[in-house]
Amino acid sequence: MANGFSGPVAQIVDNYLDRLKKGLRGIPAKDQEDLVKEIHSHIYESFRNDPTPDEVSRILKVLDKLGEPAAVISARMPEAMVTLGKKKKLPFLILAGLLIAFFGVPLGLGGLSAAVGLLIGVLALVVSFYIVAFSMILTGWLSAIILIIRLFVPGFLDPWMDIYPLVPDPTFNLVIYILGALLISALGFGMLWLGSRMLRGIRFVFRLLFEKIKNWRKRKTAPAQ
Amino acid sequence: MYYIVSGYNMENKITQLRKGILELAILGALSRGRHYGYSLVRTISGTSDIDLTEGTIYPILGRLAKEGLVQTEWVESSQGPPRKYYTLTVKGEEAYRTLGEEFRKLAEIVDNARRASAPDDESADYQVLSVTKETNNG
């Protein structure tokens, strides 16, 4: 990428911008590009105005003043996502969630347990949805391939296959089955597409919930005097 | 049960305090004319030794744009990559006036509160009922 710098300085800038881009996944592409361009411009101007003679120390100083990509991103992304990404707490959160789900009710965390249970339920739903989608694609393609082979090699896999004749002409019958198999895999792909929509929706709902809980917790912890 | 999770955190307090005031400073700088990100940073932090993470102004600028308080424009620069300029909209000017006035009043409150004397209880006949202990969970 031509970023207006050269040598090791260019590499350092590229590395920073790459990390920025990675952190921006999930916001609209146009906003992403815009922000990356803007930060690039900032780095350029800051670099141009800094008097440090050694270029590498200068660029490091510039980026240090700018802050980690997370600082640039934070308010653009829903807060929950950034903190999760930044602090790498996810495994801990999952463990905590499971503990609360199993032992929460006797400890008096009824409401929270219900929320975590709901979360796990939704997760199971998502997982099973994807398993169905993938198996539809897999079986669709496999049967299509076997049926196409049968088209050219009559009796292929005959001991295991018993194809019900929908129409009297065997070739036409096979073609109908192939189309059916392809349709099933297409449905599987359709489910994948729907799934990405669904995931976005679910993520959105949980993010809202998460923010609500956090705000509520803040209010509880620090009551206004 | 939630008290364990979040303790007292000075860094958070400073961040919270800065967020709103930085926004006001940005609006103030823009009320004097258009700026691009880096020139804003220079204008705002240039006059003091405040330790400002420069990147934090971009999320604020993004939000101001979304709220329609500023408008943006990419302009070719004679040297280097194009700059994204920010201008205050009419709505932004209004917001700056209102917020600036509010800030002035709040600063006054803080200052007055600092000067005011505590209630004079020495003469009153009172009894200590309970004392909260100083805790350190941060």
Q: Are residues A119 and A189 in the same domain?
A: yes
Task: Locate the chain A residue with the closest alpha carbon to B36.
Answer: A42
Q: What is the mean pLDDT of residues A42-50?
A: 92
Partners of A217 on chain B (C-beta within 8 Å) are 2, 5-6
The domain B11-114 is placed in CATH, from the list 3.20.190.10, 1.10.10.10, 3.40.50.1100, 1.10.287.130, at: 1.10.10.10
Q: How far apart are CA A82 and CA A72, in angstroms?
A: 11
- Residue A89 pLDDT class (50, 70, 90 cuts): low
- Residue A29 pLDDT class (50, 70, 90 cuts): confident
State percent of chain A over pLDDT 70. 84
Q: Are residues A176 and A152 in the same domain?
A: yes
Q: Are residues A73 and A94 in the same domain?
A: no
Mean pLDDT of chain A: 80
Mean pLDDT of chain B: 83
CA distance B97 to chain A (A): 24
Residue A16: the pLDDT is 93
Partners of A48 on chain B (C-beta within 8 Å) are 79-80
Residue B93: the pLDDT is 96
Partners of A39 on chain B (C-beta within 8 Å) are 55, 58
Reported as type and span, the H/E element at residue B117 is none
Which ranges of chain A does DSSP label H, i.e. alpha helix?
7-23, 29-49, 55-66, 69-73, 79-87, 90-107, 110-152, 170-221
Q: pLDDT digit string (tens) for A104-159?
A: 666 666 677 777 788 888 888 889 989 999 999 999 999 899 888 888 887 777 77
Q: How far apart are CA A203 and CA A47, in angstroms?
A: 39
Range of the domain at A179: 90-221
Here the tokens at position B108 are: 């006054």
Residue that is last in its domain, among A53, A77, A101: A77
Q: Are residues A32 and A141 in the same domain?
A: no
Evaluate whether residue A133 is within a structural domain. yes
Q: How far apart are CA A194 and CA A113, in angstroms?
A: 29
Q: What is the mean pLDDT of residues B68-92?
A: 93
Q: How far apart are CA A124 and CA A121, in angstroms?
A: 5
In this structure, are residues A24 and A35 in contact, taking their beta carbons and an 8 Å threshold? yes
Here the tokens at position A158 are: 């005959």
Q: Which member of B6, B42, B55 has the closest CB to residue A72?
A: B55
Q: pLDDT digit string (tens) for B21-58?
A: 889 999 999 999 999 999 999 998 876 777 778 888 88
